[in-house]
Amino acid sequence: MGCGASSSASSASSSSAAVYQPSPGASGSPTASSNATNVVQAPQAPPPSSSAAHEPAPAPTTTTSTTSSSLTLRIIAVNDVYELGNLPRLKTAVAQLKTDNTIFVLAGDFLAPSLLSSLDHGRGMVDVLNDCGLQYVCLGNHEQDVAHKHLLQRMDESKFVWINTNAPTLPLEGREPLPEFVTVDVEAKGEARGTHARKVSLLGLNTGDPGLYTDKAWGGVGAKCMAPIVPSARSMREKLAATTDLVIPMTHQVMPLDREMAETCGAEFPLIIGGHDHQPYLETVNGCIITKQGADAALVGVIDVTWPAPEHAGASPTIDVQQLPITNFEPDKSSEELVEKHKHVLKALDEAILCEVPQSVPLNSKGIRLAQTTMGSLICTSVREALFADCAIINAGNIRGNTTYGDNHHYLTYSDLKAEVPFDSPVAVVNLPGAVLQEVVAFTRQFALQDPPVEKGCFVQLDDKMSWDGSTNTLTAVAGGPFDPERIYKTVVLYQVAYNGIDGVTPLANYVSEHLKTMDDPTLLQHSDSAHGMKQVLVEHFARAVWWQIVKDSGFDDIDEDGSGTISRKELEAAIFKRHGVSMGNLVLDNLMALADTNGDGNIDRGELLRACFLSSSMFYNADEDMDSHVTKEEAHKMFQKIMTSSYDPKVVDDLFTAADSDGSGTVSMDELHKYATRQDKSVTI
């Protein structure tokens, strides 16, 4: 990237940066907030020599330079970018922050998931990142959320380089191997040209956590294509030691594993540029700086690696890291136009019917910051079911339609949902003790009980299996049963409220913060990598529910009008019209077919339909006749025999049930079904 060095990282910041400067080998620096700076003296690396580096695949080389007697490589870094919204500002940030010695990297997760990527398979994201000037990426686990053929197409369209250090068996279908590393030549310029040069090598290392992948992931090789990160990084550093001054791993794994990596080999890697976590981190562990910028480019990392003047040829570099709010930068107009071009495909969804509205209680979202509303209940109930949780509490400030829909509003459309949920609003499942859940709900609703009542965005809406006594400000029922302060409830919350303290819900933020600090409790935030936007969660849930409703009401044989043993797109369209009296539109039909058509032949056979219904939360609630929060094999057989009618195959249900029953108890719990569902292929839905 080439431009003058007149614009510095610090000049872009709106406030002064905190500085932390440990001695080499220091550990345990606190997590830094945004706009923070961390400076550390890097351990000395072996000097370069003339011997050849190990190059199993061609490694692109970028030449950078500096104007001072010292020599600096600037790295602009982001990670986990799912939405296009901040990218016009990111383009401006890169333009303002870059010098002649700058590279721009992204540490994994950008093709998916998002509502747009479910339609364009990541094409828009790659196009906009190309326009932003992105240069180097590593794989993230969500890159396999798009079909493998689409992943390869996105690689072909990328102007940036995909670095792949630890997935040597990744199927590329005849394409050239991805480089295992990239070497950047850092050179002095002007009068100092030729007197001072360094080499920096970047690695790209993606998590091999088998819980994140299906067996069909990565073109059918699954998690086994990912070699362990630390041995892979160490092996590559050893191969590069003779010809590079500094090796920088880009990793895509959870922060505790990055900390372990730093503890194990901090002297070998003074800097780790990380991804996977959606909250920002800036820590020094065992002399190694770990920086993660959080999700969606809300922060942009600016990393300066500086070597002293040439006369100190053997000296180690210092590393300075800043995390700058993206709001410091104005959006680039041409990038905004490009983003809008790609978002245009979403406009076709505006009138798409998502679900039928229960007519017993008309939808209403007026006064949502003072009282429970039917829209609040619908949204909370739907996200609870979608994530197989016990309950859901969603802040009213994130449900903003302020509309009374009336008795004649029979269907919820995507435009309705956009009006009610205008923000990305990531949701996640947190394990909360009942006593904490009670404290959280009471805290958020106390303001509505004042005289006069005070509207607050933190007022939580509840799902339809929760009951609240307004006179005492206490919970009376959760998950359809009496409230138990000792029980651990799997609770859907807004990620930013729980983990970043948005809306000031201190009982929730304090509980989450304390448990993270004390134990990095892996059960505290369930499905942490599934903290996806609430709109996306709802749309996918409603799509699955459409299949369930049609099959439950009509049965397979009635939908299969020609008796072929499969359901065609035309037959599905007819069944939807028969049930609802309206057409849901081509886009909805396409995605409903994609949801169930696992073999891609354009038709849905009985096994595919059984599988699609088995993975639906609606199946669970309908099959669980005794309401004990578990489904027995007998309950599953009884239900599926009813909806599949004459051609019911019990073996398919037996196989699905056995696969989901992870503890071998003979029953499937909500948690088991959710874990089984997350191991399956990610189907395209609207």
Q: What is the pLDDT of residue 673?
A: 84
- Interatomic CA distance for residues 227 and 214, integer angstroms: 16
Query: Residue 445's beta-bridge partner residues?
Result: none
CA 20 to chain centroid = 30
User: Residues with Cβ < 8 Å from 285, sequence gap 6 or more?
Assistant: 27, 28, 29, 259, 262, 263, 266
CATH topology for the 347-530 domain: 5'-nucleotidase;  domain 2 (3.90.780)
Q: How far is CA 354 from the centre of its chain?
A: 23
pLDDT band, very low/low/confident/very high, at 134 (cuts 50, 70, 90): very high
Q: State the pLDDT at residue 511.
A: 93
pLDDT bracket for residue 80 (50, 70, 90): very high
**At residue 331, does pLDDT exceed 70?**
yes
Mean pLDDT of 77-86: 96
pLDDT interval class at 435 (50, 70, 90):
very high
Residue 37 forms beta bridges with which residues? 19, 322
Mean pLDDT of the chain: 84
Does the predicted TM-score (pTM) go above 0.75?
A: no
pLDDT at 626: 82
pLDDT for residue 190: 67
Domain spans in the chain, listed from the N-terminal domain onward = 22-340, 347-530, 534-678
Residue 216: pLDDT over 90: no
Q: What is the pLDDT of residue 325?
A: 98
CATH topology of domain 534-678: Recoverin; domain 1 (1.10.238)
Tell me the range of 240-249, 595-604, 618-627 where mean pLDDT is highest: 240-249
In the predicted structure, residue 197 carries a pLDDT above the cut 90:
no
pLDDT at 316: 85
Do 119 and 346 meet the contact criterion of CB atoms below 8 Å apart? yes
Q: What percentage of the chain exceeds 90 in pLDDT?
A: 51
Residue with the bigger pLDDT between 485 and 59: it is 485
**Between 154 and 521, the higher pLDDT residue:** 154
Residue 122 has pLDDT above 70, yes or no: yes
- For 22-340, the fitting CATH number among 3.40.718.10, 3.60.21.10, 3.30.365.10, 3.40.50.970 is 3.60.21.10
Please check the confidence at residue 38 and state whether its pLDDT lies above 90: no
- d(CA 679, CA 686) in angstroms, rounded, equals 20
Is the pLDDT at 309 greater than 60? The verdict is: yes
The segment with the largest mean pLDDT, out of 23-32, 50-59, 645-654, is 645-654
Q: Is the peptide bond before 452 cis (omega within 30 degrees of 0)?
A: yes
**Is 52 a residue whose pLDDT tops 50?**
no
Q: What percent of the chain has pLDDT over 70?
A: 84
What does the alpha-carbon distance between residue 332 and residue 357 come to, in Å, rounded to a whole number?
Answer: 41
**Average of pLDDT values for 463-489?**
96
Residue 686's pLDDT band, with cuts at 50, 70 and 90, is: very low
Q: How confident is the model at residue 97 (pLDDT cuts 50, 70, 90)?
A: very high
The least confident of 249-253, 255-259, 339-343, 548-552 is 548-552
